Amino acid sequence: MNFSDTPRDPTVPRHVAVVMDGNGRWARKRYMPRVYGHKQGVDALVRAVNAFADRGVDYLTVFAFSSENWKRPSEEVSGLMGLVLVAVSKYLTKLAGDGVRVRIVGDRSKVSNKLREAWEYAERSTAHNTRINLSVAFNYGGRWDMVQACRHAMLDGVHPEALDEAALSRYMALSFAPDPDLFIRTGGEMRISNFLLWQSAYSEFVFTERLWPDFDETDIDAAIQAYRQRDRRYGGIPTEELVPQGI
């Protein structure tokens, strides 16, 4: 599916990043194991991808497993790994049919071969899609991203004098995407937790109490509405004070 000929609404964020937090609490409230909350979280993600795409968002980047989440009990970690495999087999065909291009960003060196192969399959089989770009950050950390970018630039022999912000950006994990316009975190915590540290320099932040499995179209519309109210100055002066050119 190719929707790229449709003119895009400039008030809709082109790139949305989401910290999908609150799965564990959602499950605990129901006296269920935390992994059950993660399972519901996958379903919420599939719904959200389509809802964001319907609203004209081109890139959706979601935090699924952080470099620090290895600290969790081994039962939860292995449950999450297993869930990725289940999610790929349950939803990949649907996502592919819905025009979603899937990418996985993060350190792949520490995950099982089985998982790596599932990801490569997901990326290959959706590579032609253009409706929305879904990037799943898995074993991702903003600090890891900066370090891996520097390492790769050094391995490429980039001269220190040539290493400016644009040059380093080309080595970051999301080099194919513009920086996130809107950064949403569900679950009530007001922190970044080592997500897109470099890329979120000028993102607009929306924090919501909603737990991720409950995040729905109403929450998406509320977040986009909040984004529309913001005056993005990038270090400049308020838009209302700008003198129109030619006066």
Tell me which of 16, 17, 24, 134 binds ligand IPE, using CB under 6 A.
Answer: 24
The number of residues that bind ligand IPE (CB under 6 A) is: 18
Who contacts 193 (Cβ-Cβ below 8 Å, separation ≥6)? 19, 21, 63, 66, 68
> Given the complex with Mg ion, which of 13 and 141 has the nearer CB atom?
141
Contact 105, 136 (CB under 8 A): yes
Query: Which region holds residue 194: left if phi is over 0, alpha if psi is between -120 and 50, else beta?
Result: left
CB atoms closer than 10 angstroms to residue 226 = 16
CA–CA separation, 62 and 151 (whole Å)? 24
Among 19-27, 85-93, 113-121, 197-205, the segment contacting ligand IPE (CB under 6 A): 19-27
Closest contact distance (angstroms) between CB of 104 and ligand IPE is 13
> Given the complex with ligand IPE, which of 69 and 169 has the nearer CB atom?
69
List the x/- string, 220-239, binding to ligand IPE by CB under 6 A: --------------------
> Given the complex with ligand IPE, which of 62 and 177 has the nearer CB atom?
62
- Picking from 6, 5, 44, 1, the residue whose alpha carbon sits closest to that of residue 213 is 44
Q: Which residues pair with 51 in a beta bridge?
A: none
> Given the complex with Mg ion, which of 68 and 123 has the nearer CB atom?
68
List the x/- string, 12-31, binding to Mg ion by CB under 5 A: ---------x----------
Kindly state whether residue 208 participates in binding Mg ion, applying the rule CB under 5 A: no
b/e code 73-107 from CB counts within 10 Å (16+ = b): eeeeeebbeebbeebbeebbeebbebbbbbbbbbb
Name the closest residue to ligand IPE (Cβ): 24
Kindly state whether residue 210 participates in binding Mg ion, applying the rule CB under 5 A: no
Determine whether 21 is an active site residue. Answer: yes
Closest contact distance (angstroms) between CB of 189 and Mg ion is 7
Helix boundaries (H) for the chain: 23-28, 34-54, 74-97, 113-126, 142-155, 165-169, 217-228
* Active-site residue, selected from the candidate residues 2, 5, 9, 21: 21
CB atoms closer than 10 angstroms to residue 172 = 20
Residues labelled catalytic? 21, 69
Residue numbers at the binding site for Mg ion (CB under 5 A):
21
Residues that bind ligand IPE in the complex, under the rule CB under 6 A: 19-25, 34, 63-66, 69, 80, 187, 189, 191, 193
